[in-house]
Amino acid sequence: MQFGIFYEHQLPRPWAEDSEHRLLKEALDQVELADRLGIDYAWEVEHHFLEEYSHSSAPEVFLAACSQRTRQIRLGHGIVLMPSNFNHPARIAERIATLDLISDGRVEWGTGSSSSRSELEGFGIDPEQKHLMWEESVREAAKMMVMEPYAGFDGASFSMPPRNVVPKPLQKPHPPLWLACSNRDTIKIAARYGMGALTFAFIDPDSAAHWVEEYYETFERECNPIGRAVNPNLAIVAGFMLHEDGAEAERRGARNFQFFGYALSHFYITGSHLPGEFDLWQDFQSNMPEKYEPSAGIGTPSQVAQNLEALENAGVDQVVFVQQAGNNRHEHICESLELFADQVMPAFKDRHDDRQKRKLEKLEPAIERAMLRVPDLPQVAGLKPMDAYPLMAAKAGQAEQPERPTEGDNIVTAISGRG
Dump pLDDT digits (tens) for 173-219.
999 999 999 999 999 999 999 999 999 988 999 999 999 999 999 99
* Cα–Cα distance, 191 to 219 (Å, whole number): 5
Instruction: Count Cβ atoms within 10 A of the Cβ of residue 330 and give its class: 0-12 exposed, 13-18 middle, 19 or more buried.
Output: middle
What was the pLDDT predicted at 406?
77
What was the pLDDT predicted at 403?
87
Whole-number average pLDDT of the chain: 96
* pLDDT tens readout for residues 258-291: 999 999 999 999 999 999 999 999 999 999 887 7
Inter-residue long-range contacts of 259-263, CB under 8 Å, 24+ positions, other chains counted = 259/10, 259/12, 259/284, 259/325, 259/326, 259/327, 260/8, 260/10, 260/322, 260/325, 260/326, 261/202, 262/287, 262/288, 263/10, 263/50, 263/52, 263/53
What was the pLDDT predicted at 415?
67
Residue 380 lies in a domain: no
What was the pLDDT predicted at 370?
99
What was the pLDDT predicted at 259?
96
367 with 228, same domain? yes
What was the pLDDT predicted at 386?
94
- When divided into structural domains, the chain yields a total of 2
pLDDT-derived band at 414 (thresholds 50, 70, 90) equals: low
Per-residue DSSP letter, 150: B
Residue 377 lies in a domain: no
Residue 190 lies in a domain: yes
281 with 139, same domain? yes
Q: How many CB atoms lie under 10 A from the CB of residue 221?
A: 11
Residue 229 lies in a domain: yes
270 with 138, same domain? yes
314 with 398, same domain? no
Mean pLDDT of 324-347: 98
Is residue 410 scored above 80 in pLDDT?
no
Q: Please tell me the pTM assigned to this model.
A: 0.96
Q: How many CB atoms lie under 10 A from the CB of residue 379?
A: 7
406 with 366, same domain? no
151 with 115, same domain? yes
Is residue 359 scored above 60 in pLDDT?
yes
341 with 402, same domain? no
197 with 280, same domain? yes
Residue 58 lies in a domain: yes
200 within 8 A of 178, measured Cβ to Cβ: no
Q: Which residues fall within 8 angstroms of residue 18, CB to CB, at 6 or more apart?
A: none
Helices (H), 193-329: 205-222, 246-265, 280-287, 301-313
Per-residue DSSP letter, 87: S
Residue 92 lies in a domain: yes
**Structural domain containing residue 216:** 2-372
Residue 204 lies in a domain: yes
Instruction: Count Cβ atoms within 10 A of the Cβ of residue 412 and give its class: 0-12 exposed, 13-18 middle, 19 or more buried.
Output: exposed
130 with 232, same domain? yes
195 with 293, same domain? yes
285 within 8 A of 294, measured Cβ to Cβ: no
State whether the Cα torsion 250-74-131-160 is positive or negative.
positive
Is residue 331 scored above 80 in pLDDT?
yes
313 with 406, same domain? no
What was the pLDDT predicted at 379?
87
* Cα–Cα distance, 351 to 146 (Å, whole number): 35
* pLDDT tens readout for residues 318-329: 999 999 999 999
367 with 392, same domain? no
Residue 378 lies in a domain: no
Is residue 419 scored above 60 in pLDDT?
no
